[in-house]
Structures are given as structure tokens and as C-alpha cells.
């Protein structure tokens, strides 16, 4: 798979799906009234994809790696906040399972990309990359 733009990165695309799921659930029902949690989980979901994009434009694999770690942390934050939403009954068990599963998928893809960057000194982000992203952590 050639990566020319950050939009080509599978973990970014799956993170985008996660972000849409989060926004969908936070703008309805009782969740909509909890501005604090809604804002926090929305920000974390946006942070995940933003860090992937920002890291892609960095000057080195080491810096890209650092941003991918930030993205992975943001996905973990989303997962933790999903438990709060579940506990407060803002979301159903099914919504939790689907969204948590998407977060897991996104995190595993980020982990795969981190492993890839750790195993190579080139190519540089911002240039064309030819990689096969791992689908497992």
C-alpha cells in the first residue's frame, strides 16, 4: 500500500470512523446534556486522527512515532470515557460494544504502524511510503 497523504493511512481512516461514531452518540439523548463528558470524548477522538495527520507531516520517523503514540493514548482515552458513558447509561451495551470495538481496531492499527516505524530507518514521512500496516497489536 502506498502512502502519499495522511488520508492513505489505514489507522487514520479507521480513526475517522471512530470519530463519527463518537459524534453520533454524543449528540443525542442524555449524553447530549453532559457537556463535559461529551466535549472530552469528542476531543479525544479528534486528537487521535489529528496526531496521525500531524505526525505524518513531521520531519523524521522518530517524530512521527511520537505522534502515533499520542494518537494511541487518545484512543485509550476514548475507550475509558466510553465506560463512563455506559455507567451513566448514556449509551446502550450494544453502542458501547460497537464503539469500543472500533476503538480497539484503530488502536491496533496505530500499534502496527508504530512497530513498522520502529523497524525501519527509512522511508521518511511526507515522502511516498510503501508499507503493509499490521492489523494486530
Q: What is the pLDDT along the chain (137 residues), one digit of tens a residue?
A: 688 999 999 999 999 999 999 999 999 999 999 999 999 999 999 999 999 999 999 878 899 999 999 999 999 999 999 999 999 999 999 999 999 999 999 999 999 999 988 887 555 555 445 443 433 44
pLDDT at 66: 96
SS3 101: helix
How far is 132 from 115, CA to CA, in rounded Å? Answer: 11
pLDDT at 1: 64
pLDDT at 118: 86
Measured from the Cβ of residue 39, the count of other Cβ atoms closer than 10 Å reads: 11
Q: Which three cell numbers stand for residue 45?
A: 477522538
* Residue 67 backbone phi and psi in degrees, to 5: -70, -35
- CATH code of the region 2-130: 1.20.1440.60
Ranges of each domain in the chain: 2-130
Task: For Cα atoms 106, 50, 36, give the angle at the middle one, nearest 5 degrees.
Answer: 85
pLDDT at 117: 87
How far is 26 from 42, CA to CA, in rounded Å? Answer: 8
CB 105 within 8 A of CB 14: yes
SS3 129: strand
Residues 6+ apart with CB under 8 A from 106: 11, 14, 15, 17, 18, 48, 75
Amino acid at each position: 500500500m502506498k502512502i502519499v497523504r495522511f488520508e492513505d493511512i489505514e489507522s487514520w481512516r479507521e480513526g475517522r470512523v471512530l470519530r463519527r461514531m463518537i459524534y453520533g452518540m454524543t449528540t443525542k439523548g442524555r449524553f447530549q446534556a453532559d457537556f463535559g463528558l461529551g466535549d472530552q470524548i469528542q476531543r479525544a477522538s479528534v486528537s487521535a486522527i489529528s496526531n496521525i495527520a500531524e505526525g505524518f507531516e513531521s520531519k523524521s520517523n522518530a517524530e512521527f512515532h511520537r505522534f502515533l503514540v499520542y494518537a494511541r493514548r487518545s484512543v485509550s482515552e476514548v475507550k475509558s470515557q466510553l465506560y463512563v458513558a455506559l455507567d451513566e447509561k448514556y449509551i446502550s451495551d450494544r453502542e458501547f460494544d460497537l464503539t469500543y470495538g472500533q476503538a480497539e481496531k484503530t488502536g491496533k492499527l496505530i500499534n502496527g504502524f508504530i512497530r513498522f516505524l520502529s523497524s525501519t530507518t527509512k522511508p521518511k514521512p511526507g515522502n511516498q511510503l510503501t508499507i503493509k500496516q499490521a492489523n494486530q497489536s
